[in-house]
């Protein structure tokens, strides 16, 4: 790979990342940013941030909350801007050069944050403030910031000896390089394969929309026939509908053996190394394992509590899942299938049984979820609940022509945020869907700096024959990410370290998952979910069928999530370095939960980006945890009316606007009136009558 050779560095005033943004709402000037701008901008931003921190350290005055804790929160804003752009684009619109820049930049950023977090003089100031915290008359938000800052230092090794600090630095640096590499391997293995279909017979069973998309993709790749990629909008439906069992098996194996084939993109040793390094890091800080270290800063608090939580839900799901497999298998036998169901048969026969029981398939729904109408519908929901309005602004620069930018206002006319929407898959975009931000919200010198929020997804593309018609799952995903975006946009905090989605990890999915509940409310769907050709409202029977079928195979789906959660906890609960193979390690955890035969040559851990290349290490259980919260919280909307303004107001004031300024359980109880219980979720998913 050729590194960027910049013979003479750009002058500051010609580097758009360093100049003040001459754009609407000071949004990033994507149209002007070139690859060669990143490294010089990062270097300048890092040295500027260093100066800001040095000024805090060298302040001759006694350490106070304002001159130390608050000043730290205010520092490094330019660096945050530059690195947000770099890392967000590396997920949404990358190429080999940008990836190389990230590889080069990551250790520099880690070094910088270690320079701060391991700086003894700075820590001394923070500790001085922390020790006199009771006499400072701090607001609730200020105490949270102080606590977070102090703990941040301690958890980053501030109390370590010099020798251990060196170890800490080395481990952090290696971890950051490994997780970048892990992600790049997954992306490469996803792009390196596609199923090329040349015989029309092999399309049997596929819905027309998938055939069209496959033909379109083939055309784009310049090959004859049809192409199915490993991107989920193609892979998922293919597994569900393709009659050709051999092809299902082939693409299943391709998908589940990514990064597990012993080639240059193999992630086995990387995963093991990451887990072992994390253990070393936790031990260094005085924790028995990494999970204990992580959970100290969570609503759930300890690994024991998480494992007990997972166990309760597994106990409720496993018997149901076993029954479901029996039922699907016996239905497959009725259809002439012989022998035992394999994993590449599961979606296919499940879908057939679901159709037999509920005589509806997801394809029937898609015409009611034309992307443009769904966008209107999602904006309308935000309007009915929180009075928000969205107006597109094409003057705001974007990083790809597919991206659209909106100005967001609340009912009082207050400007709340810029929202970017980026829907379609393309090479250079990671799989899945996420919300992120280019700038978080904070207040400074009496000015409220509003956030720049972005939603990135991989939704079904329009073709030359059809507009983008979303599956129900994609529609729910949109609502989910939009919920995160609301958390980011409606925030009203003073400090950027506490604003928006800067909350405990096992609380962050409440605002997103609660939005998914609206997807099944006919009263809401009637407002926008109309057939894209006939304009007819989504029929009541169809909505009823979604509701009836929602819990189809609920045991199996729940078990799958709990399996991921258990696997994550296992990787991070070890108290000794892992020596066994990744494959054996994974089997030990997942086999007791297996309801289908295991398949040799496949592995989940090696593409488990959430935990090896993201912030979900020892935190994947948080999705289920949040389901408990969202089912319990949505009960209030169900009781008082789904658009009830008082309920929405209370959710906005107590949850969405508060960020991490108070402990999540306190915020939750203020909204709900009591602690959450597991019952609402079990009832909603049909696991408890």
- Separation CA 281–CA 27 (nearest Å): 38
Residue of 491, 512, 558, 607 that binds Zn ion (CB under 5 A):
512
Quote the least distance from Cβ 435 to Zn ion, whole Å.
Answer: 7
What is the helix (H) or strand (E) element at residue 437, kind and residue range?
strand 434-439
Cα–chain center distance at 355? 31
Burial-class residue 54 by CB neighbours within 10 Å (0-12, 13-18, 19+): middle
3-state secondary structure at position 404: strand
CB of 554 to Zn ion, least distance (A): 20
Three-state secondary-structure class, residue 57: helix
Helix (H, G, I), strand (E, B) or coil at 90: helix
Question: Which is nearer to Zn ion, 129 or 479 (by Cβ)?
Answer: 479
Nearest approach in angstroms of CB 636 to Zn ion is 21
Query: Among residues 184 and 512, whose Cβ is nearest to Zn ion?
Result: 512
- Distance in Å, CB of 456 to Zn ion, minimum: 12
* Residue 363 annotated in active site: no
Do residues 453 and 419 touch, judged by C-beta distance below 8 A? Answer: yes
- Of residues 183 and 512, the one with the C-beta less far from Zn ion: 512
Region for 662 from its dihedrals, namely left if φ exceeds 0, alpha if ψ lies in -120 to 50, beta otherwise: beta
Q: Name the residue with the smallest CB distance to Zn ion.
A: 512
Q: Which two tokens stand for residue 535?
A: 């304009």
Residue 317 binds Zn ion (CB under 5 A): no
Binding mask 492-511 for Zn ion (x = CB under 5 A): -----------------x--
Q: Quick one: 512 or 566, whose CB is closer to Zn ion?
A: 512
Q: Quick one: 76 or 483, whose CB is closer to Zn ion?
A: 483
Closer by beta carbon to Zn ion, 18 or else 299:
299
Output the smallest distance, CB 509 to Zn ion, in A.
5
CA dist list (Å): 271 to 113, 170, 268, 274, 470: 24, 18, 5, 5, 34
Report which of 436, 486, 447, 417 is spatially closest to residue 74, judged by C-alpha positions.
447
Note whether 477 binds Zn ion by CB under 5 A: no
Contact 171, 277 (CB under 8 A): yes
Rounded Cα distance between 402 and 452, Å, is: 17
Nearest to 417 by CA among 445, 378, 448: 448
Return the residues of window 551-580 that contact Zn ion according to CB under 5 A. none
Render the burial of 535-557: b for 16+ CB within 10 Å, e for the rest: eebbeeebbebbeebeebbbbbe
CB nearer to Zn ion: pick between 113 and 512: 512
- Confirm or reject binding of residue 476 to Zn ion (CB under 5 A): no
Three-class secondary structure assignment of 444-503: ECCEEECCEEEEECCCCCCCCCCCCECCHHHHHHHHHHHHHHHHHHCCCCCCCCCCCCCC
Strands 434-439 and 452-456: antiparallel
Q: Identify the burial level of 370 via C-beta atoms within 10 angstroms of its C-beta, where 0-12 means exposed, 13-18 middle and 19 or more buried.
A: buried
Q: Identify which of 169, 188, 176, 350 has the alpha carbon closest to the alpha carbon of residue 261.
A: 188
Least distance CB 506 / Zn ion (angstroms) = 12
Size of the residue set binding Zn ion (CB under 5 A):
2
- If the CB atoms of residues 144 and 485 are measured against Zn ion, the closer one turns out to be 485
Q: How far is the CB of 429 from Zn ion (least distance, A)?
A: 17
Minimum Å distance from CB 423 to Zn ion? 17
The least distance separating Zn ion from the CB of residue 158, rounded to whole angstroms, comes to: 31
| 3-state DSSP of 195-219 | EEECCHHHHCCCCHHHHHHHHHHHH
**Residue number, 10 or 509, with CB nearest to Zn ion:** 509
Report the length, in residues, of the chain: 689
- Residues 6 or more apart whose Cβ sits within 8 Å of residue 21: 27, 28, 29
Question: Per the residue annotation, which of 481, 492, 509, 516 is the catalytic one?
Answer: 481
Catalytic residue numbers, as ranges? 481
Under the rule (CB under 5 A), what is the footprint of Zn ion? 509, 512
């Amino acid at each position: 790979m050729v590194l960027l050779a910049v013979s003479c560095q750009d002058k500051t005033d010609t580097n758009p990342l360093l100049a003040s943004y001459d754009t609407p709402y000071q949004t990033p000037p994507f149209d002007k940013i070139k690859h060669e701008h990143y490294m010089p901008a990062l270097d300048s931003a890092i040295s500027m941030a260093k100066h800001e921190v040095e000024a805090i350290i060298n302040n001759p005055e006694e350490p106070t909350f304002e001159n130390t804790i608050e000043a730290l929160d205010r520092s490094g804003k330019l660096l945050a801007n530059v690195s947000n752009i770099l890392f967000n684009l590396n997920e949404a619109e990358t190429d080999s050069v940008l990836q190389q820049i990230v590889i080069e930049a990551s250790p520099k950023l880690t070094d910088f944050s270690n320079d701060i977090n391991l700086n003894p003089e700075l820590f001394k100031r923070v500790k001085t403030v922390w020790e006199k915290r009771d006499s400072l008359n701090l607001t609730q938000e200020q105490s949270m910031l102080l606590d977070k800052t102090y703990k941040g230092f301690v958890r980053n090794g501030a109390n370590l000896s010099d020798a251990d600090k060196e170890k800490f630095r080395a481990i952090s640096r290696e971890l950051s390089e490994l997780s970048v590499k892990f992600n790049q391997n997954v992306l490469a293995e996803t792009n390196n394969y596609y199923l090329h279909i040349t015989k029309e017979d092999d399309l049997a069973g596929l819905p027309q929309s998938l055939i069209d998309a496959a033909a379109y993709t083939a055309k784009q790749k310049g090959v004859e026939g049809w192409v199915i990629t490993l991107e989920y909008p193609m892979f998922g439906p293919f597994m569900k509908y393709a009659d050709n069992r051999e092809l299902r098996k082939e693409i299943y194996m391709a998908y589940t053996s990514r990064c597990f084939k012993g080639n240059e993109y193999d992630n086995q040793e990387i995963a093991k190394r990451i887990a072992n390094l994390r253990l070393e890091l936790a031990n260094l800080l005085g924790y028995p394992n990494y999970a204990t270290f992580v959970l100290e800063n969570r609503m759930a608090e300890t690994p024991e509590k998480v494992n007990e939580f997972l166990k309760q839900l597994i106990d409720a799901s496993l018997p149901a899942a076993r029954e479901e497999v029996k039922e699907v298998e016996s239905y497959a036998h009725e259809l002439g299938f012989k022998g035992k169901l394999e994993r590449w048969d599961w979606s296919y026969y499940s879908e057939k049984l679901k159709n037999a029981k509920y005589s509806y398939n997801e394809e029937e729904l898609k015409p009611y979820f034309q992307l443009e109408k769904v966008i209107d519908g999602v904006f309308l929901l935000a309007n009915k609940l929180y009075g928000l309005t969205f107006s597109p602004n094409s003057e705001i620069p974007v990083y790809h022509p597919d991206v659209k930018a909106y100005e967001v206002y609340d009912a009082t006319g207050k400007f709340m945020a810029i929202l970017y929407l980026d829907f379609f898959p393309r090479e250079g975009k990671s799989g899945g869907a996420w919300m992120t931000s280019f700038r978080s919200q904070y207040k400074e010198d009496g000015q409220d700096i509003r956030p720049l929020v972005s939603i990135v997804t991989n939704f079904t593309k329009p073709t030359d024959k059809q507009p983008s018609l979303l599956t129900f799952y994609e529609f729910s995903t949109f609502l989910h990410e939009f919920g995160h975006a609301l958390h980011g946009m409606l925030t009203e905090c003073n400090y950027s370290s506490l604003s928006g989605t800067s909350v405990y990890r096992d609380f962050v999915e409440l605002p997103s998952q609660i939005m998914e509940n609206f997807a099944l409310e006919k009263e809401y769907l009637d407002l926008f979910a109309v057939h894209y050709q006939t304009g007819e409202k989504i029929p009541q029977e169809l909505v009823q069928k979604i509701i009836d079928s929602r819990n189809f195979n609920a045991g199996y789906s729940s078990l799958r999530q709990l399996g991921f959660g258990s696997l994550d906890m296992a990787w991070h609960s070890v108290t000794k370095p892992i020596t066994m193979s990744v494959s054996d390690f994974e089997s030990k955890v997942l086999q007791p939960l297996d309801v289908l035969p295991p398949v040799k040559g496949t592995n989940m851990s090696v593409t488990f980006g959430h935990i090896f290349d993201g912030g979900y290490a020892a935190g994947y259980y948080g999705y289920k945890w949040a389901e408990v919260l969202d089912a319990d919280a949505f009960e209030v909307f169900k009781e008082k009316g789904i658009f009830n303004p008082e309920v929405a107001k209370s959710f906005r004031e107590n949850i969405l606007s508060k960020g991490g300024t108070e402990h999540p359980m306190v915020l939750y109880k203020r909204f709900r009136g009591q602690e959450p219980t597991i019952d609402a979720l079990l009832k909603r998913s049909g696991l408890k009558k």
